[in-house]
Chain A
Amino acid sequence: MKVSKQVLTLMVALAAGSAAAAGTPSGTSITNTANASYTDPANPAATLNTPSNTVTTTVLPKAGFDVVYLNNTPADGTTPTSTAAALTPAYDKIDVLPGAVIDTPYTILNNGNVAGQQVTLAADTSGSTSAPVVAYYLDVDNSGTFSAGDTLITGPVSVPVDDPATPADEGKVQVIQRLTVPAGAVAGDKYIASPRGTGPVFDSATSTNPAVQEAATDLQYTRATVATPALVLIAPTVIPGGAAPAAPVPGPTTPPTGAPAGNTYLPPTTGTPNPGTVTVVNATTGNQDAYPKSDTNATPDVVTFVGNVKNNGTIADTVKIKPDLTNLPTGATVVVRDIAGNVLTPDAGGLYTLPGGPVAPTGTVEFQLVVTYPDSDLVPATPAADIVIPVGVFSGNVPSATPLATGTFTIHPPKILFGDTAAGNPDATQAPAQTVIPNGTFNTTTGTANDASAVFPMSVKNNGTYTEPFTLAGTVPIKLLDGTTVNVPVKYYTTAGVLVPGGVTPGIAPGATLDLIAVVDVPNNAAITTGAAGTNPAPVLSQTATGNFSGATASDINDIINVGAIGAITVDKYVGVNAAPTIDAAGKVAKSALPGATVNYAIVAKNTYNGPVKSFILKDSNAAGTTNVYTFSDYQTASVNLTGFAAGAAVYYSIDNGANWTLAAPAAVVAPATIPGIWVYIETDGVTPGAGPSAGDVIPANASVQLNIGTKVK
Chain B
Amino acid sequence: MTRYSRTALLVLLTGTAAAQMAPAPAASPLKLVLTQALVQTTTQGGKSTETLLLQPTGVVPGAVLEQAVTATNTLGKPMGNVAVNLPVPAGTRYLAALGSGAAKAVFSFDKGKTYGAAPLYRTVTVTENGKSVQKEVEVAPAEYTNVRWTVPQLAAGSSLKLGFRVRVN
A interface with B by C-beta (< 8 Å) = 3-12, 14, 20, 22-24, 28, 30-41, 44, 46-62, 112-113, 164, 202, 207
* Whole-angstrom distance between the Cβ of B67 and the nearest chain A Cβ: 6
Decide: A50 near B23, CB < 8 A? Known: A34-B85, A36-B32.
yes
Q: Assess the B121–A57 pair: CB atoms within 8 A.
A: no
Do residues A62 and B61 form an inter-chain contact, with CB atoms below 8 A? yes
Given A12-B122, A50-B32, verify A37-B58 contact (CB < 8 Å).
no
Chain A residues in 8 Å Cβ range of B116: 6, 8
Q: Which residue in chain B gives the minimum CB-CB distance to A44?
A: B2
User: In the complex, are the beta carbons of B86 and A62 less than 8 A apart?
Assistant: no
Contacts of A8 in B (CB 8 A): 110, 114, 116, 120-123
B35 interface contact, C-beta 8 A: yes
Output the nearest chain B residue to A60 by Cβ-Cβ distance: B58
Which of the candidate stretches B44-52, B75-83, B94-102 sits at the interface with the other chain? Answer: B75-83
List 17 A-B pairs, Cβ < 8 Å.
Answer: A3-B9, A3-B117, A6-B121, A8-B114, A8-B116, A8-B122, A9-B122, A24-B91, A30-B59, A30-B89, A30-B91, A30-B92, A39-B79, A48-B21, A49-B23, A55-B67, A57-B55
Interchain CB contact under 8 A, A36 and B71: yes
**Once the chains bind, are B62 and A32 in contact (CB under 8 Å)?**
no
For B124, list chain A residues within 8 Å (CB): 11-12, 14
Chain A contacts for B77, CB-based, 8 A: 41
* CB-defined contacts of A20 to chain B, threshold 8 Å: 169
Q: Using A52-B33, A58-B57 as known contacts, list a sample of 15 further A-B pairs with CB atoms less than 8 Å apart, ordered by residue number in A.
A: A8-B110, A8-B122, A12-B124, A14-B124, A20-B169, A23-B62, A24-B61, A34-B34, A44-B2, A47-B21, A50-B24, A55-B34, A55-B67, A56-B36, A57-B58
A62 touches B60 (CB 8 A): yes
B30 within 8 A of A: yes
Of residues B38, B56, B61, B120, which shows the largest number of chain A Cβ atoms within 10 Å of its Cβ?
A: B61
In the assembled complex, which residues on chain B have CB atoms less than 8 Å from the CB atom of A58?
A: 57-59
Is B67 within 8 A of A37, CB to CB?
Answer: no
Indicate if the CB atoms of B136 and A6 lie closer than 8 Å: no
In the complex, whether B154 has a CB less than 8 A from a CB of chain A is yes
Contact with A along B8-52 (1 / 0, CB 8 A): 011000000010111110001110111110100000000000000
Note all chain B residues with C-beta closer than 8 A to A22. Answer: 61
Contact A30/B90 with A6-B10, A55-B34, A55-B67 known, Cβ cut-off 8 Å: yes
Inter-subunit contact B89/A59 (CB<8 Å): no
Given contacts A49-B21, A51-B32, A55-B67, contact A34 B86 (CB under 8 A): yes
Contacts of A60 in B (CB 8 A): 58-60
For A56, the chain B residues whose CB sits under 8 A away are 36
Q: A35: nearest residue on chain B (CB-CB)?
A: B85
User: How far apart are the CA atoms of A435 and B25 in the complex, in Å?
Assistant: 166
B5 at the interface (CB under 8 A from A): no
B155 lies within 8 A of chain A by Cβ: no
- On whether the beta carbons of B62 and A50 are closer than 8 Å, the reply is no
- Docked complex Cα distance between A237 and B55 (Å): 92
Q: Which of B30, B35, B60, B69 contacts A59 (CB 8 A)?
A: B60
Check A59/B91 contact, CB under 8 A, given A37-B82, A44-B80: yes
Q: Are A39 and B91 in contact (CB under 8 A)?
A: no
B61 touches A38 (CB 8 A): no
Q: Which residues of B contact A112 (CB under 8 A)?
A: 61
Instruction: Please determine whether A10 and B168 come into contact, CB atoms closer than 8 angstroms.
Output: no
Q: How far is the CA of A34 from the CA of B72 in the complex (A)?
A: 13
**In the bound complex, how far is the Cα of B73 from the Cα of A490, in angstroms?**
153
* A113 vs B59: C-alpha distance when bound (angstroms): 12
Could you tell me the distance between the alpha carbons of A46 and B32 in the complex, rounded to whole angstroms?
A: 19
Q: Chain A contacts of B55 at CB under 8 A?
A: 55, 57
Interchain nearest-CB distance for A58 vs B (Å) = 5
- Chain B residues lying within 8 Å of A4, measured Cβ to Cβ, are 9
Which residues on B sit within 8 Å (CB–CB) of A30?
Answer: 59, 65, 89-92, 168
Q: Which of A11, A53, A59 lies at the interface centre, i.e. has the most chain B CB atoms within 10 A of its CB? A: A59
A49 CA to B89 CA, complexed, in Å: 20
What 6 A-B pairs come out closest when comparing CB atoms?
Answer: A23-B61, A52-B32, A50-B28, A60-B58, A39-B80, A55-B36
Assess the B36–A24 pair: CB atoms within 8 A. no
Closest chain A residue, CB of each to CB of B112:
A35
Q: With A41-B77, A49-B22, A62-B61 in contact, is A57–B123 under 8 Å at CB?
A: no
Q: Does B125 contact A (CB under 8 A)?
A: yes
The reply to whether A207 and B60 form a contact with Cβ atoms under 8 Å apart is: yes
Could you tell me the distance between the alpha carbons of A23 and B32 in the complex, rounded to whole angstroms?
A: 30
Cβ of A32 and Cβ of B67 under 8 Å apart? yes
Q: A49: which B residues are within 8 A, CB to CB?
A: 18, 21-24
Whether the pair B86, A38 counts as a contact (CB closer than 8 A) is: no
- Across-interface contacts of B81 in A (CB, < 8 A): 37-39, 47
| Cβ contact within 8 Å between A164 and B169 | yes
Across-interface contacts of A7 in B (CB, < 8 A): 121-123, 136
Q: B87 near A: Cβ within 8 Å? A: yes
For B121, the chain A residues whose CB sits under 8 A away are 5-8
Q: Taking A39-B81, A58-B57 as contacts, is the C-beta distance between A33 and B65 under 8 angstroms? A: no
| A330 to B67 CA separation, bound complex (whole angstroms) | 104
User: Which of B35, B154, B169 is the one whose CB lies under 8 Å from A38?
Assistant: B154
Determine whether the beta carbon of A32 is less than 8 Å from that of B61: no
| CB-based contact B75/A41 at 8 Å | yes
Q: How far is the CA of A112 from the CA of B168 in the complex (A)?
A: 13
